[in-house]
Amino acid sequence: MIRRSLLIFTLLVAGYMAFIKWGDVDWDTTQHQSNGNRIKAEEFVFGKDRPDATVIVGSSLSFRIELDSFPNGTSNLGFGGLSIYDGLEMIERSGKRPARVLIETNLLFKEPDRAFLDAVFAPGLYELRRATPILREENQPSGVLFGWLKEGAKNAAGTMKGSGDSLAVSTVLLESNRAIFSAVPSDSAQQHFLGRLKEGVKTLEARGIEVVFVEVPISDELMQSNLATRSREVVAERFPKHRFLRVAPASHWLTTDGLHLEWNTAQRYSGWLAGTLR
């Protein structure tokens, strides 16, 4: 009985491995935010090291930057609920050497998530996931099934990603973000984060990687807030010789909550950013 069970299990695993390798699973298997962050991280660390690549490092504000307008091999390490320092450390620990790294400047004063990084690079499991793709987050059977169902529903309805985005701004989230962006961290806290950022930039440039700073557009109101203004000032003060890409003031970028770009607007910004980098 045990031998038969082991045989069945082995056949199922072998069949699933073959399905993942040759089944052309190209649909989105994301089930929730943390799962999506993990999928994005593993795609980067286990992907090919391209010396001509561009990597975007950011928070949830960069999450919706689409890569269609960017050169092949571009990666978006904009993680929902995380910080730019998670992406910077991920590049360092992965050993990758892209040609250029874009660093989002909107949320400079936020600590990295040690648990997230440690889970991605957990000794033993990291090596197993690199060698065995079915163990990676994107290939979880529940996620593959969920992605297949989503893809089928989308095709049946004839809809496109983002077509259901509402132009209505969430007033509750907007009020919360107003409060967050009205406050500026203490001088000691700013120095702590700027020291971390300086070290991250120094590490990248020591490996021959170009660093470009990018301010993702948010609502006109929050663009003029105390926190946004201070973030721009410290980048200009500490990194005066670096490129700092910003859209024109009062450009009226539509957001869902004052901070996060609505989907169609994010597409427009993605095109602008890709074009400006050329």
User: What is the rounded CA–CA span in Å between residue 87 and residue 113?
Assistant: 10
**109-163 residue pLDDT tens:** 999 999 999 999 999 999 999 998 888 877 776 655 555 566 666 666 655 444 4
pLDDT recorded at residue 187: 96
User: What is the rounded CA–CA span in Å between residue 31 and residue 221?
Assistant: 33
Q: Give residue 213's identity as a one-letter amino acid code.
A: F
Q: Residue 68's domain is classified under what CATH number?
A: 3.40.50
**246-259 residue pLDDT tens:** 998 777 889 999 99
pLDDT recorded at residue 79: 95
267 alpha carbon, distance to own chain's centre: 15
User: What is the rounded CA–CA span in Å between residue 81 and residue 63?
Assistant: 10
> Across the beta sheet with 54-58, what order do the strands follow?
75-78, 54-58, 100-104, 210-214, 244-245
Q: Tell which residue, 42, 84, 61, 40, has the closest CA to residue 194.
A: 84
User: What is the rounded CA–CA span in Å between residue 91 and residue 205?
Assistant: 12
- Please give the residue range of the domain that contains residue 172: 2-277
Tokens representing residue 248 in the block = 């024109």
User: What is the rounded CA–CA span in Å between residue 263 and residue 268?
Assistant: 9
Tokens representing residue 252 in the block = 């009226």
Q: Give residue 257's identity as a one-letter amino acid code.
A: D
The residues, any chain, with a CB within 8 Å of residue 11's CB and separated by 6 or more, are: none
Q: Tell which residue, 119, 111, 94, 96, has the closest CA to residue 59.
A: 111
User: What is the rounded CA–CA span in Å between residue 270 and residue 265?
Assistant: 9
SS3 58: strand
Per-residue confidence in pLDDT tens, the chain, 278 aa: 677 666 665 665 555 555 555 556 665 666 777 888 998 999 999 999 988 999 999 999 999 899 998 988 899 999 999 999 999 999 999 999 999 999 999 999 999 999 999 999 999 999 999 998 888 877 776 655 555 566 666 666 655 444 444 455 688 899 999 999 999 999 999 999 999 999 999 999 999 999 999 999 999 999 999 999 999 999 999 999 999 999 987 778 899 999 999 999 999 999 999 999 98
pLDDT recorded at residue 25: 61
pLDDT recorded at residue 276: 94
Query: HSE (CB half, 13 Å, CA atoms) of 62?
Result: 28
pLDDT recorded at residue 147: 58
pLDDT recorded at residue 164: 46
What total of structural domains would you count in the chain? 1
SS3 99: coil
